[in-house]
A = this chain, B = another copy of it.
Amino acid sequence: MKVSGAAPKDQRILAAAEKIFSMYGYEKATLDAIIKLADVGKGTIYKYFGNKEQLFYHLVVGRNEAFVKRLRQAVDAQEGLKDKLCAYFEEFISFYYENNSLWQIICFEMLGGSNACRIQKVDGDYQVLPRYSQLEIKAEAKEQILRYYSILDAEYVILEKILLDGINAGILKAPNDAEATSKYLFFGVAMSIFNPTQNLIEKFNAKEISLIIVDRFLHGECVPETI
């Protein structure tokens, strides 16, 4: 049951944290469960990561960086809207399938979970606004929300760019809102992975699914000439 061994303690903690957070969600995951699995002392977590929240963030931010890098490279290696989209979603599907639980936590508990506020992007700068006037949001809370928002933002900003280029190239319908569209596409796919009815990915591989998604996105679900 232990993840211990020759691996350095911080790696062991991260591995254990992934498992426990994935199994129980952020709130219900306990540090006791993590240290037991990682076979380290409780203080060690605080030495390396500061506290529970930062442990989770650390776990997630590292993965995200590598993922965003892969996304960028895959997209850059392709030419044309369609191929870029396919490349994007091939990486996307693999990653989200792999990090299903962790990314669900980001989506909600760390983002929407604190629904007391709303994020606005103004000229590339983010603002955290309170949704309920009577409630003041602490600076720390704002900072935390922004941190998780940035993670997802880094992912779909790439998609947004692809779509924006498509709009500018006259390939995508105008009037169109690249941000709204990319979010719809992004989260639609993400949720299909979070919430699978049948494990599509076990029948098809990421590339095949990606092709279908992009085809339907571009040309619609409707058989031509029927409506």
List chain A positions with a Cβ less than 8 A from chain B: 1, 19, 22-25, 27-28, 81-82, 100-101, 104-105, 107-109, 111-116, 118, 120-121, 131-132, 134-135, 163, 166, 170-173, 176-177, 179-181, 183-192, 194-198, 200, 213, 216-223, 226-227
A113 to B110, CA, bound (A): 11
A132 to B180, CA, bound (A): 36
A28 to B22, CA, bound (A): 19
* Chain B neighbourhood of A25, CB < 8 A: 108-109, 112-115
* Chain B neighbourhood of A213, CB < 8 A: 184
Q: Are B114 and A104 in contact, with the CB atoms below 8 A?
A: no
The one of B19, B81, B108, B185 in contact with A109, judged by C-beta atoms closer than 8 angstroms, is B108
Q: Are B121 and A197 in contact, with the CB atoms below 8 A?
A: yes
Can you sample 23 A-B contacts with CB below 8 Å? A1-B134, A22-B115, A23-B131, A27-B27, A101-B115, A104-B113, A104-B115, A107-B108, A112-B195, A120-B197, A121-B197, A170-B226, A171-B226, A177-B198, A179-B197, A180-B192, A180-B198, A180-B200, A181-B216, A183-B191, A183-B192, A185-B188, A186-B191
A25 to B219, CA, bound (A): 38
Nearest CB in chain B: distance from A39 CB, A: 15
